Structure 1
Amino acid sequence: MEYTYLILNLPRGTTREAARQVMTEHAEYGGWELHTVRVHRDGRRRIQLRKKIIRARSTLHQPA
């Protein structure tokens, strides 16, 4: 399975509710899923989201 990743860096002072809202919007409207969350000592949050890469196969020239 292949994934593409999106990294969100939220500044310190961002509430848990605001961080949850940002992740929810990306999940609902962009199809992203949560991969990791890292909260740094100074309060910054680094959120990594991922989405499956779907590769389309051509069906035009299938062997008989």
Structure 2
Amino acid sequence: MREQLMSSTLDSIARGEKWEYLVITVAPHESLADTRRRLVDHAEYGQWELQRSVHYRGGTRRHWMRRRVIRVRSTLQS
């Protein structure tokens, strides 16, 4: 299973984007239960939501997950 973060949080904030994306690519020989567990873990602990899933002809599956970029402002006085 391969995971790829599409854009880092700092790059997303600099460009004014509201979402960051995580693409998870699953090989045909990997079990559906393992894939489901990985997606649930990302959703539960990383606050990701499943946006799109594609099942390709060769058996490869690709899942796009997204989460809102949270902009944190400093409360420290300069």
Q: TM-score, normalised by structure 2?
A: 0.66
Secondary structure of the residue aligned to 2:54 is: strand
Asked which structure has the greater CA Rg, the reply is: 1
In structure 2, stretches of 5+ residues that fail to align are: 1-16
Secondary structure of the residue aligned to 1:31 is: coil
In structure 1, stretches of 5+ residues that fail to align are: none
Q: How many residues align?
A: 61
Structure of higher RCO (CA pairs closer than 8 Å, 6+ residues apart): 1
Whether 2:42 is the aligned partner of 1:26: answer yes
Q: TM-score, normalised by structure 1?
A: 0.79
Question: Percent identity of the aligned residues?
Answer: 37
- Following superposition, the deviation at residue 8 of structure 1 comes to 0.6
